[in-house]
């Protein structure tokens, strides 16, 4: 089922249907570490953070080690006021009692519809069933897959990655799951991601490492330019491998591995974008600063006109160059070159004399391709992933609560 995916030792998983969604769709997940795990997290920057985000931020700020993560789909518990925060505490307390842990060791995440009262009674019934399921029949591979499915909302597929990396202390495993298909925007994408390792690493190093990794992965994707109230990336390191990583070379290996699984999950999110048929890498090179390259990158990646042209397989480079021009960056238009994969489209700010519409359209018919924008004004660059904008995106979101 999960071919070539390494499952991190020292963690168990469960995913069940508790009644938050219609039918028998899985909607409640549990991740459990066999021992206290050092936790790091990055949260949404939305000014309306969901109740579990408020609670999670407090846990991370206080340096809480974590043992269990409970994630529900179907209800965001966002914009639910003080009652929503009380509900988070209630669920955490009940799960802690069931697992014989302290409340501070329980991390809560939610995803789904914003503004609806949190169905705490339904979730509490689910907690009892979830703990029973944890002790039940699924092997860890099947249980991991069930947990990854239970956190999905409009996702079409579950997202799971697992690898091993070699350190001077021995083999270390990293496993990640994520959900997200809509409300995906750079600067924390409705995206949730959970990154696990059996390495031992100190808290400050782990948090700094995660922030760098998020900035190079989940903060470089965009499906629709909307940022959720619930976005969370949580990373746990429980140390069961016995590999205590302190040397800079070992920490570099761990960070490279963490970045690999984060980028793989980020790619899966864009590929599974609501209604998406394309994954497009936008790369700006030759910029006079990274910030300038990023502004242009984001302007192009978030342009509705550009994204609909990608869907229509219309090599309308004028929309791209217009987005470059309104990004708010000082450029020399006479130096700008644009290519679709290896096809040069624009040279010196005008249509390349050798460009053919047929060649450009052929690239845009591919499910994955790159748009490279070379400003020829410096040495800096920036890259992010985006998707096309389709009829299905409108249909999915018009009917989301129907």
Is 80 assigned a catalytic role? no
Neighbour count for residue 230 (Cβ, 10 Å): 26
Sequence-ordered list of residues with C-beta below 8 angstroms from that of 6, at least 6 positions apart, any chain: 162, 163, 164, 173, 174, 175
Residue 15: its H or E element: strand 11-16
Query: In 3D, which of 158, 156, 137 has the Cα closest to residue 5?
Result: 158
Contact 70, 28 (CB under 8 A): yes
Neighbour count for residue 256 (Cβ, 10 Å): 11
d(CA 32, CA 11): 5
d(CA 41, CA 70): 15
Residue 177: its H or E element: strand 170-179
Q: Report the chain's terminal Cα–Cα distance, integer Å.
A: 33
Contact 35, 221 (CB under 8 A): no
Residue 221: its H or E element: strand 221-222
Query: Which one of the listed residues 154, 167, 190, 232 is annotated catalytic?
Result: 190
- Residue 20: burial class (beta carbons within 10 Å; 0-12, 13-18, 19+): buried
Report, in this order, helix, strand and coil percent for the chain, each rounded to 5.
35, 25, 35
**In Å, how far from its chain's centre is CA 300?**
20
> Under DSSP, is residue 111 helix (H, G, I), strand (E, B) or coil?
strand
Catalytic residues: 190
């Amino acid at each position: 089922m999960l071919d070539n995916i390494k499952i991190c030792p020292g963690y168990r998983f469960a995913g069940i249907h508790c009644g938050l969604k219609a039918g028998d769709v899985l909607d409640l997940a549990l991740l459990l570490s066999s021992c206290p795990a050092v936790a790091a997290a990055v949260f949404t920057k939305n000014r309306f953070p969901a109740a579990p985000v408020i609670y999670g931020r407090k846990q991370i700020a206080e340096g809480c080690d974590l043992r269990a993560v409970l994630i529900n789909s179907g209800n965001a518990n966002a914009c639910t006021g003080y009652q929503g925060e009380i509900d988070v505490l209630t669920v955490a307390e009940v799960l802690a009692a069931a697992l014989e842990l302290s409340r501070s060791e329980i991390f809560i995440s939610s995803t789904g519809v914003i503004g609806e009262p949190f169905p705490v009674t339904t979730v509490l019934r689910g907690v009892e069933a979830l703990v029973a399921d944890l002790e039940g029949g699924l092997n860890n591979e099947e249980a991991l897959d069930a947990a990854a499915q239970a956190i999905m909302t409009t996702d079409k597929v579950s997202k799971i990655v697992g690898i091993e990396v070699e350190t001077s202390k021995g083999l270390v495993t990293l496993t990640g799951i994520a959900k997200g298909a809509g409300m995906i925007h750079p600067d924390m994408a409705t995206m949730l991601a959970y990154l696990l390792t059996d390495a031992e690493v100190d808290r400050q190093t782990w948090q700094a490492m995660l922030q760098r990794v998020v900035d190079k992965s989940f903060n470089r994707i965009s499906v629709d330019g909307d940022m959720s109230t619930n976005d969370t990336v949580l990373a746990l390191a429980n140390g069961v491998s016995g590999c205590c990583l302190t040397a800079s070379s070992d920490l570099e290996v761990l960070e490279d591995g963490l970045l690999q699984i984060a980028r793989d999950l980020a790619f899966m999110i864009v590929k599974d974008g609501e209604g998406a048929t394309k994954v497009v890498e936008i790369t700006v090179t030759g910029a006079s600063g990274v910030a300038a390259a990023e502004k242009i990158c984001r302007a192009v990646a978030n342009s509705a006109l550009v994204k609909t042209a990608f869907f229509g397989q219309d090599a309308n480079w004028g929309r791209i160059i217009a987005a470059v021009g309104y990004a708010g960056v000082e450029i020399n238009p006479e130096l700008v070159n644009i290519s679709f994969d290896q096809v040069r489209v624009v040279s010196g700010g005008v249509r390349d004399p050798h460009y053919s519409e047929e060649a450009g359209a052929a690239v845009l018919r591919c499910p994955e391709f790159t748009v490279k924008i070379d400003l020829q004004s410096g040495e800096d660059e920036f890259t992010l992933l985006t998707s096309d904008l389709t009829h299905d995106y409108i249909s999915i979101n018009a009917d989301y609560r129907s």
